[in-house]
Amino acid sequence: MVEVTVDDRSLELPVWILPGHADGSMTIHLGYGRTRTGRVGSGSGFDAYRLRTSRAPWHVAGARIRKIAKHYELASTQLHSNIGLAPGPNEEPGFGVEGVEAERRHLVRVGTLEHFRQEPDFAQHMGHTPPEGLSMYPPWDFPGYAWGLSIDLGACTGCNACVVACQSENNIPIVGKEMVAMGREMHWIRIDRYFEGELEHPHVHHQPVMCMHCEQAPCEVVCPVGATVHSSEGLNDMVYNRCVGTRYCSNNCPYKVRRFNFFKYNDTETPVLELLRNPDVTVRTRGVMEKCTYCVQRINHARIEAEKEERQIRDGEIQTACQQVCPTEAIVFGDVNDPESKVSDAKAKPLAYDILAELGTRPRTSYLAKLRNPNSTLEES
């Protein structure tokens, strides 16, 4: 920890070092350190307003920083769901999504505008997608609706609004800092962050990762009780009252997007908390797996309305919670069987790709590669 002093005011803070931060400066976040927010919020965080004045509400020059003999535990989820293989003979252990495997397997695909003009489908050439017929599993047709989702990495800013919206929509519990530090966070969406380039001047890329709703889902074949099954519309469903918590599905998921309830995080006894939850979504309890459902409750609501009016579900009529809240409209959801739908258009673009497609899982969630248009003069400097 350090002590930050501005004039005659000082504050003790923990330090989090990030690549690319400007030398000789620090960023202190506002909004924490409250004293009267109940038993959960009172005393949490650090009150940065003590260093803020009306003359300098956003920027203070001349601050002094001093290291002190104290430590503070920080909880981060960035390395909890590494997608990687065992290290090779010349690699150090621990290389995952932020190291060798992320680059080798092209989880995040980035190119320049010039590269795109020369090779529009460069993103698809960065990985291998096996033919659809090349599988040990029998083929399955989806004659009706077939739901899918596309995420534009060029539009994603990593703001985490989708994470919060998903949590509110789907009754995802707050597990607390201690559980997060142990790797037991419950969010159905995670935002993977990648640094590319030099340590002092890196490029930063963000990638939302949720359940891929694979057509050839590795999680389904290992569940001993059939708690995770496929629907006729391509959704990878969870039947919570069947789940016995073996966690085989989590172990077999290459995307590491499933969450396990180690404890009864949700309080189902306090009456006032019932108003907090979405009545259309099951409140899960201890000992079951859970994950992204593509907001199946919203799909069902749209289906009921369409059946009452004797029509098909219109494109755009269903918005997942993450899609609805995204400020840059990076997320598109819809019926991939409809060639005129926005999601079909996104998946048909040359920048479209699937992560870990070489495994043959045929995920319904795809990505659009990120394009950069760098200034050559600035890049060289």
Sequence spans of domains, the chain: 1-74, 100-376
What is the greatest pairwise CA distance in the chain?
72
What's the pLDDT score for residue 82?
67
Q: In angstroms, what CA-CA distances link 106 with 101, 128, 160, 249, 367?
A: 8, 10, 22, 24, 12
Instruction: Please state whether beta strands 365-368 and 147-152 pair in parallel, antiparallel, or not at all (unpaired).
Output: parallel
pLDDT of residue 102: 60
H or E stretch at 40: helix 38-41
Q: What is the pLDDT of residues 310-337, one digit of tens each?
A: 999 999 999 999 999 999 999 999 999 9
- pLDDT of 103: 62
Question: What angle is formed at CA 152 by the lines to CA 253 and CA 345, rounded to 5 degrees?
Answer: 100
Percent share of the chain, pLDDT over 90: 64
Judged against a pLDDT cut of 60, whether residue 257 lies above it is answered with yes
SS (H, E, C) 91-141: CCCCCCCCCHHHHHHCCCCEEEHHHHHHCCCHHHHCCCCCCCCCCCCCCCC
Computed over every residue of the chain, the mean pLDDT equals 89
- Average the pLDDT over 208-213 and give the result: 96
Predicted local confidence at residue 299, as pLDDT: 97
Mean pLDDT on 237-252 = 95
- Fold designation for 100-376: Alpha-Beta Plaits (3.30.70)
Share of the chain above pLDDT 70, in %: 93
As a whole number, mean pLDDT of residues 20-32 equals 89
The per-residue pLDDT for 98 is 46
pLDDT of residue 44: 82
Q: Name the band, by pLDDT with cuts 50, 70 and 90, for residue 135.
A: confident
**In the chain, count of helices (H) and strands (E)?**
11, 15
Mean pLDDT (whole number) for 250-275: 91
Q: How many residues are listed for the chain in this entry?
A: 381
Q: Report the pLDDT value the prediction gives residue 176, as an integer from 0 to 100.
A: 87
